[in-house]
Chains A and B, each alone.
Chain A
Amino acid sequence: MSASIPSPEYIKIRHAHRQFMTPEGGIINALDNISLSIAQSEFITLLGPSGCGKTTLLKIIAGFEELDSGDILLDGQSIIQQPAHKRPVNTVFQSYALFPHMTVGDNVGYGLDIAKVNKVERNQRVAEALTMVGLSGIEQRLPSQLSGGQQQRVALARAIINRPKLLLLDEPLSALDKNLRLQMQLELKNLQTELGICFIFVTHDQEEALTMSDQIVVLNSGKIDQIGTPDEIYHTPKTEFVARFIGESNILSGMVISKSENGVNIDCNGCTIFSHDQTLKLGEEVKLLLRPEHLSLTPNELEGPQAQLTMTLNQTVFVGSDYQLHGELSNGLPFSALTRKTNTPLIKGQQLTLYYQVDALHTIPAKQKSIKGHI
């Protein structure tokens, strides 16, 4: 499959719109006119807080929910008129949804039984699918006799056995403990590469999204805030929401007060920050994003041009390899930095000079608007 040229518009979602009635009689836009294109054999993550519409979108693609308006094309064909059982799409459910009265073999072979595949081929394919997820030889066990991680793998095997054109994963790792989750993240990514089919993965866990995805779609209240590679999403968030949702962040609001050849000075409530962003106009309001790891107590740890600011230290937290420094800027706003262990003692109330990489400073226009995505 990897030999063929992947179509950049393998899946097209056009103006997808879906409303829900709240019990109080109000209307919520679960999906607000979303358009999105996904290329073949990509690992896409729909990322957002609960209630952002990501699960609704997944259920609509799977066929468990209907669109109020809009269309979904898979490989050039509209699928929204097809019932769920006819769509070449399979789902790994959040709670796995394994049939408790069937053995693992019957669970995995369910789709093949429905498709009336002959016994010999069925058993062979069941064994293959189980081997693929690292669970050979447990066909005769019941789901209740398996651990959470094993159940998760069985659910995965059951979903890929029909060779779907598209695999949907609805927060499949949320019930696993941390170590297992990290392991499964890598395995899922490998499985996707091996199968070469498109995975749409739904999660609210930003680390999970950054680890596995080719592309991340950040959803906020039914709208797409940003589409991009994990790197783009992390380093150049397009909205304050994306900046806050992904990674640790210091966000300051300010206004451009002076421009020079080198860059601009931005005033944030009495604290001046220097930026290289030449596109900013004098008097423009902006949001500034400064990741804690781009700050340092000593200038030589950083690369490129630097600037500095002063913070009053309130609290120091040891997080293993580094120290988290929490404090406030001269204007009283909370601020934090992540630094290596230092030899100088850190005392509460101390004035610290923090250096930052000017190139790592990211500016977000204060006016936000959602975008129509094309990947």
Chain B
Amino acid sequence: MKKQTPLGRLLSIYSVFFFLFLYAPVILIVIYSFNSNPINIMIWDGFTFDWYRSIFGLATSLTDTSSYVDSTDQLLNALLNSLIVAASATLVATFLGTSTAVALARYRFKLHSFYRLLLFVPMVMPDIVLGIALLIFFVGAGFTLGNSTIIIGHCTFLTSYVFIVVSARLAGMNPLTEAASADLGANEWQTFRRVTLPLILPGVIGGALLSFIISMDDLVITYFISGVDSTTLPVFILGMIRRGIKPEINAIATLMLLFSVVIASAGIYFKSKNTSTH
């Protein structure tokens, strides 16, 4: 029965446009990834799966086969690099971030605020600054730029994200459960393994998922510290866009969006499941 004021209606319309602005460009890519027009990709010319077949090196019905068939190997290689980097960096960052979060949440010590700051700074540091600092360091210290340097580079800021997520979980936990465990005779390690870890596990998994996604998407830092044959997917796509717009990019972009949506939805699903049982 609530009547909407004119201002309220204006606000609703405005907000609808806002979400349109947020999603229309991305939806445009998805739609046009099925457009069969090879010359002007923004003019609709019929439905096709050709660009998807093309990026996976499959035969297409196109007469012009010059497109990206030869770079399929590079594309798959970039994808593989991205997955290796994201998985390894996530593993290391989750370990580092979780241990630091537990230390800061459960112990009082002098350098407490210093550690908070130390873990806050890499997150707000502009990507390019961190990227070139790492580049100078790796080159100076004699590292060969490749997957290993990218993994190290990603860990410097992913640790902070894991730290934030796990800390939030720890803050919402009743510290008396740990006291109860100690009271029943468990030592620190037993308490951690049997009480603390199971309770913060949703946070740890959430932090790991977040770092995996951020690592997969990272462009700027990777751009500076990747070697010649260690290109990741975002860097590869940046290169493609710089060389010129091709319909295949639409298809790759669509697949990447699909991947992101699936991971994000999974993360949110797990989060809601965990909070509802909490």
Contact = CB atoms under 8 A, between A and B. Distances in A.
Instruction: Give yes or no for direct A-B contact (beta carbon below 8 Å).
Output: yes
Interface of A: 19-21, 66, 68
Contacts of A20: 1
Contacts of B3: 66
Interface of A is mostly: strand
A21 B1 CA distance: 6
Nearest to A66: B3
B84 to A, nearest CB: 50
Contacts of A66: 3
A297 B1 CA distance: 56
Contacts of A19: 1
B203 to A, nearest CB: 31
Contacts of B1: 19-21, 68
B8 to A, nearest CB: 14
Contacts of A21: 1
Contacts of A68: 1
Interface string B1-42: 101000000000000000000000000000000000000000
A15 to B, nearest CB: 17
**Top 5 A-B residue pairs of the complex, sorted by shortest distance between their CB atoms:** A21-B1, A19-B1, A20-B1, A68-B1, A66-B3
Nearest to A27: B1
5 contacts: A19-B1, A20-B1, A21-B1, A66-B3, A68-B1
A19 B3 CA distance: 12
A144 to B, nearest CB: 22
A148 to B, nearest CB: 27
A363 B1 CA distance: 41
Nearest to A20: B1
Nearest to B2: A21
B72 to A, nearest CB: 53
A20 to B, nearest CB: 6
Nearest to B3: A66
A153 to B, nearest CB: 34
A267 to B, nearest CB: 48
A92 B189 CA distance: 55
A161 B166 CA distance: 50
A65 to B, nearest CB: 10
